[in-house]
Structure 1
Amino acid sequence: MRTRSLLLPRSSSAHPLDSRSRRGVGAVAAAGLALSLAACSGGGGEASAGGGDDPMTVEVNVYSRSLPYFQDFVAGAQERAEAEGVTLNVTYGETDPQLQYDQVQNALTKSPDGVIVVPVDPAALVPVFQQASDGGLPVLTAVNDIEEDGWPYVVGHVGKEYFEVGREKAQYIVDALGGQGTVAMIHGIRGLLFSELQGQGAMEVFAENPGITVIDGPYTGEFSSDAGLAAAENVLTANPDVDALYFDNDDIALGGVLAAQQRGIAMEDIVIIGTDGGEPARQAVANGELDMTITLCGVATGKLAMDTLVAFVRDGQKPDERFVDVPSQLITTESYEDVEALIAAGDC
């Protein structure tokens, strides 16, 4: 099974809904949602076959509007929606679990044909997903997974194994340093699967290499270059001789590049890596500023999520496995042009 035990630290600022309040909100909403979902076709999560030309309306709720990766995801979903005759309504959770809960709950009351959600919090949406399932409205999660108790209520999950992404990033650093050196890890948002699972995977690889010393650094609390700059400045002040900077995400990694440059550190003297593969990060790789990033192929992921949901709604076709793996590409100066060609073709 494609799962791992998630031992995630929690933060009140990142996760304002505790388990009891999440379940409580779901219970209060149940009556209203049941009335709204009664208009949806099917029951118990089963799809109704309608044919490829049937018009559809799909509600999409995405983790954030500002991050380049999610802009790519929405672009891919919209491209496939237009090709399939699907009307797409997009809202943004803006990294706020309560806001996203309210938005998804509101989306269900519109009785769409299906819903795609990129969860902010792995547990907060489980009650509303259960209500959707009970009313026969199919929900697909994408990019960020949910907790296991919510799996029975969704069609499936389209995403990437973040644990393996973290391992791949750490192995790149180990190889770049020849197995010897000090690595500082700067994280994004505490408790977010994207951050935590990458970190767990990376630490597993670092633990396998005794010549690597790890400074497990701060959580920035957000994904922005300003937050990355501030965190990297603090880490470099306390540890001026680090050999590599590991970042969860490209936005904070670009802040780390600036912090190193402002200290007069030559880019060839430090390894800096991120994740996401948005255009600014790819350009930084091409310029020799960012050593490596992994693109999670936002456009291709958006397309695959839309195709997966449409196949279920129109043809009753459920994914063979709950976890539908998406493509990814490691971007370095050597692979830059090849990956750019894939992105230009819409294949990443």
Structure 2
Amino acid sequence: MKSDRRNWPAAFVVCTTIACHAGACAEDGPAGITIPRVFGPFDRNAAGCNPPPSLNKSLAFAQDNDREFVKGIARGVAMAAKDRGLSFSASVADNSAEKMIEQVDGFRDARTGGLVVAPVDPAALAPALRRMIWQGAYVGAVVPPPATSLLNAPQYLTGKVLGDAAGNYIRGKLGGKANVVILTHDSLQFLAPRFAAMRDVLKDIPGADVVADISPPTVNKEGGYKMMQTILLAHPDVDVVLGADTVVLGALQAVREAGKERPDQFFGGIDGEVEAVTEIKKGGPYKISISLASSVFGYAMGQHAADWLDGKSIPQAMDILPSALTASNMRQYEADLANPAAVFNDSARRDAYLKMYGNICYDTRDQYVSFPWSSESR
């Protein structure tokens, strides 16, 4: 389906083929910002522009799967939609790239005004997202481009916060020696810096033996469970397990079923999953989760979508700042997740979770982010 060129900004270059002059276009529309750049701080007082014409006051969320972290995003987006008077719908692709493309194309055909997406296959989905952007919709992406507004965590810092916590535990509680498992997402290049940071921390601990450094077959609890079952066949005594909460929770289940759970083990994850929080409260092997407060940034993205539809300027990019979630700070974290509107409307609390960069609106949407943006230099 061709995009409607009547709705393009004046700066858009008219293209008819994939082979656009000097690479200025992608398929049948502008390619956005493809060369990495540093965005300045978001200017909340920047002039707005025109609201998108002929789009519905609606907001959708295309989910890769139904893990708790993603459900947290959905809750935040839905709450923002309600607060701003937008209709809301969500689709779950069940880890199928083809299904997600069909769902996003359906949202475009319905002239949905705003879309938040957690992609299954970023490269395969990119053309469908560009068509949404060319039609005039807000597109907010969780980590990979393209997007009018792209959200990312400082990935190396996120991994380092977890790695440092594990390193301190190995030195202070395990006598400097540990068999370590890292369950990676290295196949998703945008998340690879997390695991590079963990490796950098552990290589400075002579007694930390990384017995497995591998990606599970699927990035969910089942994938972590199956991978850990395999690892335990060769390495039955594991002291430390690191990765995303959803896969680390699966690994913990496998360790329990094998009768290898110990209270002095260190299981640590990223995302602040509800089940991980429950495990931390128990005081067992699960010691820490690096929170990315998904309902808080989901709410922010929903607010930005509503602003876009009102013709306001919004951030081109946004950091979700990592924080170490432990039993000592659990109460405030849970309160923030339950009421993300209160966090968003309190600048001090919002700034503890989010940092915003650049400006974009409907009239300047040819400046959408089409490179793997990160605020980090590495």
Counterparts of residues 305-344 of structure 1 (less than 5 Å):
305-319=301-315, 322-344=316-338
Instruction: Choose from 282, 289, 299 the match for 1:287.
Output: 282
Any unmatched runs of 5+ in structure 2?
A: 13-31, 33-47, 344-352, 354-378
TM-score by length of 2: 0.70
Structure 2 Cα separation of the partners of residues 120 and 329 of structure 1: 26
Q: Structure 1 pair 90/261, CA: closer, same or farther in 2 (3 Å)?
A: closer
1:41 Cα deviation from its structure 2 partner: 8.4
Counterparts of residues 34-53 of structure 1 (less than 5 Å):
34=3, 37=4, 44=12, 48-49=50-51
Instruction: Name the structure 2 match of 1:111.
Output: 111
Percentage of identical aligned residues: 18
Counterparts of residues 74-113 of structure 1 (less than 5 Å):
74-113=74-113
Q: Structure 1 pair 298/39, CA: closer, same or farther in 2 (3 Å)?
A: farther
Any unmatched runs of 5+ in structure 1?
A: 1-31
1:118 Cα deviation from its structure 2 partner: 1.6
Q: Structure 1 pair 183/337, CA: closer, same or farther in 2 (3 Å)?
A: farther
Instruction: Choose from 190, 208, 211 the match for 1:212.
Output: 208
Q: Structure 1 pair 268/217, CA: closer, same or farther in 2 (3 Å)?
A: same
CA contact (8 A) 2:56 2:112 kept: no
Greater RCO (Cα-Cα under 8 Å, separation 6 or more): 2
1:193 Cα deviation from its structure 2 partner: 4.6
| AA in 2 matched with 1:191 | S
Instruction: Name the structure 2 match of 1:23.
Output: none
Instruction: Name the structure 2 match of 1:59.
Output: 60
Aligned length: 301
Counterparts of residues 27-38 of structure 1 (less than 5 Å):
32-34=1-3, 37=4
Instruction: Choose from 241, 255, 261 the match for 1:260.
Output: 255
TM-score by length of 1: 0.76
Instruction: Name the structure 1 match of 2:367.
Output: none
Instruction: Name the structure 1 match of 2:70.
Output: 70
Structure 2 Cα separation of the partners of residues 216 and 283 of structure 1: 26
1:110 Cα deviation from its structure 2 partner: 1.5
Q: Deviations over 1:128-162 (max 9, x none)?
A: 233333333332212x322xxx4xxx322123223
Q: Deviations over 1:245-304 (max 9, x none)?
A: 11x222322232233334444533311112222222111111023111122211111101
Instruction: Name the structure 2 match of 1:145.
Output: 144
Q: Does 1:177 align with 2:191?
A: no
| AA in 2 matched with 1:111 | R
| AA in 1 matched with 2:235 | N
Structure 2 Cα separation of the partners of residues 185 and 323 of structure 1: 33
Alpha-carbon RMSD across the aligned residues, in angstroms, is: 2.9
